[in-house]
């Protein structure tokens, strides 16, 4: 019986969940992209759908346009490699960002995962101009391992009339 109790997995507290989300945002603001990648599971999906002309989000990243789509962490790793080696002309010079996270909600819990929803607002400064982006993110957090990891992240950009390149550090 003791073995069963020791093996029982405990759900992270709301405070721990928020701390995880704040850390992911801070790593983007600090441009610590290698550490940011540790927030993601190997088999993660990272998706920012586009809005259709009918004011609805696209529903299939394989058949419709997405603003950003990576089907696994390898895609995110490639993006981080280009950012770290200055092979991303769209990100030079680097933007200075500040992420704000609010309205964190736990939508569902399962034995090894939690579904979350939260709102975000990011300020980005580059070329002596400040831009802002805002939206809602939905994510599934794997809590079955040693440390939490994002299994799925869907980013809904609410201000989709963007006047510049949008990248992982903007959202």
Tell me: the pLDDT tens digits for 116-168? 999 999 998 878 888 899 999 999 999 999 999 999 999 999 987 777 778 89
Q: Give the strand order in the sheet containing 129-142.
A: 66-70, 40-49, 149-157, 129-142, 113-126, 96-109
Q: How far apart are the first and last CA of the chain?
A: 46
Rounded Cα–Cα distance for residues 148 and 171 (Å)? 20
Tens-digit pLDDT profile for residues 14-28: 999 999 999 999 999
| pLDDT band with cut points at 50, 70 and 90 for residue 88 | low
């Amino acid at each position: 019986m003791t073995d069963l109790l020791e093996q029982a997995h405990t759900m992270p507290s709301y405070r721990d969940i928020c701390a995880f989300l704040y850390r992911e945002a801070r790593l983007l603001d600090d441009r610590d992209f290698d550490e940011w990648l540790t927030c993601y599971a190997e088999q993660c999906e990272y998706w920012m759908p586009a809005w259709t002309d009918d004011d609805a989000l696209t529903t299939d990243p394989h058949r419709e346009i997405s603003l950003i789509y990576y089907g696994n962490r390898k895609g995110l790793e490639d993006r981080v490699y280009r950012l770290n080696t200055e092979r991303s002309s769209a990100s030079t010079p680097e933007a200075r960002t500040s992420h704000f996270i609010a309205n964190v909600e736990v939508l569902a819990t399962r034995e090894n995962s939690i579904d979350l929803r939260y709102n975000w607002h990011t300020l980005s400064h580059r070329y002596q101009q400040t831009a802002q982006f805002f939206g809602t993110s939905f994510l599934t957090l794997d809590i079955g391992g040693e440390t939490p990891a994002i299994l799925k992240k869907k980013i809904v950009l609410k201000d989709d009339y963007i006047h510049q390149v949008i990248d992982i550090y903007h959202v």
